[in-house]
A and B are shown apart, each in its own frame.
Chain A
């Protein structure tokens, strides 16, 4: 158990809908990262928050947004969903701002299926 909690574990929704994925980082970790894993794209870094502020952006679509709350939990909002958004979405956390030299701990992921 990494200590990173993600909910829901699975969800199925229709195209055009909006979903919210939730992540609680490990106790004491200030950085939260969101990754998308799909068969064709592999693991893609989406976005990083550190202590409530956005710190780095990767391949995140404009239809997607995220935030980190004062209690450090984070939410990833996916809107106007398309079939291609079906993927496993991971949240990860670490204590530091920078990944360099630091281990990041992954949650078990949220499986999203868009039908």
Chain B
């Protein structure tokens, strides 16, 4: 079963606007990661946030983590056409000690309109 659930399932915005995607998960985690997947391609790691961190930045990406609500958000600022892709959150369950592979949500499909 999916640990993470992204919301919305799909998002279409104009180039230059900000895009926000949310992820909710069910069990306690060690870390949460965000990945990007271009259509039919492999997943590319974007950013990792640890369970004791609340916010992290990487270029135009900003990730927040609220462990009390078991949720995370990914903000992409000043979006570009090249940001069109599916975005997945992935968690490693604390109980498993990180040995059971990452559990991915179903993803948010982001479309940037030029």
> Which A residues lie at the B interface, using CB under 8 A?
2, 4, 33, 35, 42-43, 45, 48, 55-56, 58, 88, 90, 92, 97-101, 103-109, 111
30 residue pairs A–B, Cβ–Cβ below 8 Å: A4-B42, A42-B104, A42-B105, A42-B107, A43-B107, A45-B101, A45-B104, A48-B99, A55-B99, A56-B99, A58-B101, A90-B42, A92-B43, A98-B92, A98-B97, A98-B99, A99-B92, A99-B99, A99-B101, A100-B30, A100-B31, A101-B31, A103-B33, A103-B48, A105-B45, A106-B35, A106-B43, A108-B42, A109-B41, A111-B40
Q: Say yes or no: A99 contacts B43, CB within 8 Å.
A: no
| Distance to closest chain A CB from B23 (angstroms) | 13
Interface string of B66-104 (1 = CB under 8 A from A): 000000000000000000000010001000111111111
On whether A101 and B44 interact (CB within 8 A), knowing A42-B107, A45-B101, the answer reads no
Further pairs besides A45-B103, A101-B48, A106-B44: 5, Cβ < 8 Å? A43-B107, A45-B102, A100-B31, A100-B92, A100-B97
> Which B residues lie at the A interface, using CB under 8 A?
2, 30-31, 33, 35, 40-45, 48, 50, 88, 92, 96-107
Q: Say yes or no: A103 contacts B45, CB within 8 Å.
A: yes
In the complex, A111 Cα to B40 Cα: how many Å?
A: 9
Q: Which residues of B contact A101 (CB under 8 A)?
A: 30-31, 48, 50, 98
In the complex, A108 Cα to B101 Cα: how many Å?
A: 18
